[in-house]
């Protein structure tokens, strides 16, 4: 890089420097987890091998850990150094902008208008000399001094004072809390820290949760914020991610791979693990009835993720059938982009539910009502949901199954109304195909809870047709036997599950009571179903396995009754 001349800004981009600092710190933080994994994987070697080479084998993990520690230390120092350098560059460039602006104002305005050209030239020359002097002072203060600090950090590592100062200024990623556990970051004024972050264009909520999905790392950050007295609303993203990451760890899910845009086939392993996780929650904690129901009904819901292309064939069967509230021909001809939209929306619904419900369930398991209250204080749940958990908690203490049932019903309402209703509306409102798609989705749904009905069985579509002609035979008072009302009984639903009122009426009056009755009357059967392989249950409800029955039902299962 050519030497800077007076009034030049430094060409480095502070935002890019901070971004690279965050990446390096995240890599170093990941190395902490990998080191523990390496130690755990190596542990059986010295424990089970006592022959030749035992001392060397026993020491291998320590050598690997030491080497990894050196690399981790280098990455950590580089992350801190780049953070420091980003601050130096930003302060220098800000100072240069001010110097240049002040120089531009020299000899301007009404004062300049009253000067002779010679006087004006003198004023501007004097201003330029002062500006050059100020530029050199800024260069020395920020670039030279800042460069020396960076060199020292890279050679010797950052001091505690370096870390606290840079962290307070908002120049370091949150990961340094884990990288330097001996430094008391609790000394930082969090209000000034958050103000500095916002001044740099950084959202403190995102900054706090960035860079890791490791629950141990996230907990260290949470503990710091709690120690500093930061209100929960200021770290809500971090709080949610901690509990979600805890759930994902228990489920064996890699959160970094959970992108609904990847499609159902790519996410099949995660889809299965989500419902398996819910099932394990219920099997280990039977009062978590919402989780048991999610596991039981989830496979029939998930089966549709994989067979959306078959909607076109089903729609073709329903074309021109009488009384249908939506035009099925638009589905028979819908394109792949439409299918991709519906698939991605379904997958987003599953992820949204997990991020909300798994968060709450893990919080209750990890800290009882205190953790639930923290979620409410953070704005992650409302007071009604807090009360739902209060009912469950009190029901456990009092051995009151009605309170436990009430709390779980409230959680189910939250899932359907607060979490995923917007996604249902998004599908319904999708141009051209949305209303017909969500209607067909309602028509083919099959609940996987014993005793529950399909929506079409619960609320069937019946078409009433009045035959033409007079009610009485002309010139008499006799009824006309040829005039009356025809009821066409269809295998189709009268409502649409994309509509919340239809959906909740169906759930609360059919599916939920069937599930609760199963828990009460046949608890062993419920546990047996929930304990079965989720992947096999998804396959059982795949549309391609039911296609013949669906086509036959939609094509022939129409009844006609005549009423005079």
Query: 81-125 pLDDT, tens per residue?
Result: 999 999 999 999 999 999 999 988 887 876 667 778 888 888 889
Number of domains in the chain: 2
303 and 191 part of one domain: no
Task: Examine residue 223 and state whether it is found in any structural domain, yes or no.
Answer: no
**What DSSP character marks residue 267?**
T
Residue at a domain's end among 203, 231, 247: 203
pLDDT of residue 45: 59
Same-domain pairing of 191 and 331: no
Residue of 502, 474, 235 whose CA lies nearest to 511: 502
- Pair (159, 306) in one structural domain: no
What are the DSSP calls for 94-155, one per residue? Answer: HHHHHHHHHHHHTT-HHHHHTS-HHHHHHHHHHHHHHHHHHHHHHIIIIIIHHHHHHHHHHH
* Contacts of 297 by beta carbon, 8 Å cutoff, 6+ apart: 447, 448, 449, 511, 515
Single residue among 168, 203, 238 that ends a domain in this structure: 203
pLDDT at residue 288 in the model:
98
Beta strand extents in 439-480 (DSSP E only): 460-466
Task: Classify residue 426 as exposed, middle or buried by CB count within 10 Å of its CB (0-12, 13-18, 19+).
Answer: middle
Residue 242 in any domain: the answer is no
Last residue of a domain, one of 203, 219, 235: 203
Do 297 and 416 lie in a common domain? yes
Cα–Cα distance measured from residue 427 to residue 424, given in angstroms and rounded to the nearest whole number: 5
Residues 534 and 460 in one domain: yes
Angle at the Cα of 254 from the Cα atoms of 211 and 208, rounded to 5 degrees:
25
pLDDT, residue 56, reads 59
CA–CA separation, 83 and 79 (whole Å):
6
Whether 271 and 137 share a structural domain? no
9 assigned to some structural domain: no
Task: Say if residue 266 is in the same domain as residue 130.
Answer: no
Q: Is residue 240 part of a domain?
A: no
Please give the pLDDT value at position 309: 84
Q: Is 484 a domain residue?
A: yes
- For residues 337 and 409, state if they share a domain: yes
Q: Does residue 217 sit within a domain?
A: no
For residue 519, how far is the Cα from the chain centroid?
A: 31
In a domain, 373, yes or no: yes
pLDDT for the residue numbered 50: 66
Q: What pairing do the DSSP bridges indicate for beta strands 559-563 and 460-466?
A: unpaired
Q: Which domain holds residue 193?
A: 14-48+55-203
Cα separation, 260 vs 253, in Å, equals 14
What phi and psi values does residue 465 have, to the nearest 5 degrees? -125, 125
Rounded Cα distance between 403 and 419, Å, is 23
Q: At what angle do helices 311-318 and 434-444 cross, to 10 degrees?
A: 90
In a shared domain, residues 308 and 189: no
Q: What is the pLDDT of residues 209-237, one digit of tens each?
A: 998 999 999 999 999 999 999 999 999 99
What is the SS3 assignment for 266? Answer: coil
Instruction: Please indicate, yes or no, whether residues 333 and 427 belong to a single structural domain of this protein.
Output: yes
Asked if the structure places residue 78 within a domain, the reply is yes
> Of 362, 295, 248, 273, which Cα lies nearest the Cα of 531?
295
Below-70 pLDDT ranges, the chain: 1, 32-69, 110-112, 322-323, 464-488, 555-564
pLDDT at 181: 92
Same domain, 442 and 295: yes
161 and 271 together in one domain: no
């Amino acid at each position: 890089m050519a030497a800077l001349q007076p009034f030049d800004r430094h060409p480095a981009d502070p935002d890019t420097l901070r971004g690279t600092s965050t990446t390096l710190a995240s890599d170093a933080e990941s190395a902490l987890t990998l080191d523990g994994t390496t130690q755990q994987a190596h542990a059986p070697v010295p424990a089970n091998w006592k022959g030749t080479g035992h001392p060397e084998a026993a020491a291998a993990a320590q050598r690997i850990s030491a080497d990894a520690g050196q690399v981790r230390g280098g990455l950590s120092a580089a992350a801190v150094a780049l953070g420091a350098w980003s601050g130096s560059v930003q302060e220098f460039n800000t100072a240069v902008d001010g110097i240049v602006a002040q120089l531009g104002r020299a000899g301007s305005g009404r004062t300049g208008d009253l000067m002779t050209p010679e006087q004006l030239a003198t004023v501007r020359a004097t201003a330029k000399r002062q500006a050059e002097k100020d530029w050199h002072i800024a260069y020395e203060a920020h670039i030279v001094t800042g460069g020396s600090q960076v060199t020292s950090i890279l050679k010797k590592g950052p001091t505690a004072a370096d870390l606290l100062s840079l962290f307070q200024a908002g120049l370091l990623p949150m990961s340094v809390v884990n990288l330097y556990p001996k430094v008391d970051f609790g000394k930082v004024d969090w209000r000034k820290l958050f103000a500095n972050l916002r001044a740099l264009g950084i959202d403190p909520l995102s900054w706090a949760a960035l860079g890791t999905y490791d629950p141990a790392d996230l907990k260290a950050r949470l503990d710091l914020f709690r120690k500093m007295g930061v209100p929960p609303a200021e770290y809500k993203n971090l709080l949610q991610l901690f509990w979600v990451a805890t759930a994902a760890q228990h489920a064996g899910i890699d959160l970094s791979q959970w992108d609904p845009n990847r499609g159902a086939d790519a996410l099949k392993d995660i889809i299965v693990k989500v419902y398996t996780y819910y099932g394990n929650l219920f099997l280990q904690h039977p009062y978590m009835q919402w989780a048991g129901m999610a596991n039981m009904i989830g496979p029939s819901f998930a089966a549709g993720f994989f067979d959306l292309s078959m909607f076109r064939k089903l729609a073709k069967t329903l074309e021109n059938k009488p009384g249908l509230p939506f035009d099925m021909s638009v589905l028979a001809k819908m394109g792949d982009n439409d299918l991709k939209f519906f698939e991605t929306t379904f997958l987003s619904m599953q992820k949204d539910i997990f991020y909300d419900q798994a968060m709450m369930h893990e919080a209750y398991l990890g800290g009882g009502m205190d953790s639930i209250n923290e979620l409410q204080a953070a704005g992650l749940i409302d007071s009604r949901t807090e009360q739902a958990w209060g009912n469950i908690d009190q029901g456990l203490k009092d051995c009151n199954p009605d309170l436990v049932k009430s709390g779980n019903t409230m959680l189910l309402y939250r899932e359907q109304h607060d979490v995923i209703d917007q996604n249902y509306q998004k599908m319904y409102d999708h141009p051209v195909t949305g209303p017909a798609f969500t209607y067909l989705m309602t028509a083919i749904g099959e609940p996987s809870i014993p005793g529950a009905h399909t929506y079409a069985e619960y609320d069937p579509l019946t078409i009433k047709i009045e035959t033409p002609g007079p009610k009485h035979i002309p010139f008499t008072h006799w009824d006309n036997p040829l005039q009356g009302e025809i009821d066409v009984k269809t295998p189709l639903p009268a409502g649409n599950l994309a509509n919340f009122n239809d959906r909740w009426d169906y759930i609360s009056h059919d599916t939920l009571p069937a599930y609760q009755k199963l828990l009460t009357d046949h608890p062993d059967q419920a546990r047996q179903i929930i304990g079965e392989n989720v992947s096999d249950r998804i396959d059982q409800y795949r549309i391609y396995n039911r296609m013949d029955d669906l086509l036959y039902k939609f094509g022939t299962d129409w009844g006609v009754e005549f009423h005079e």
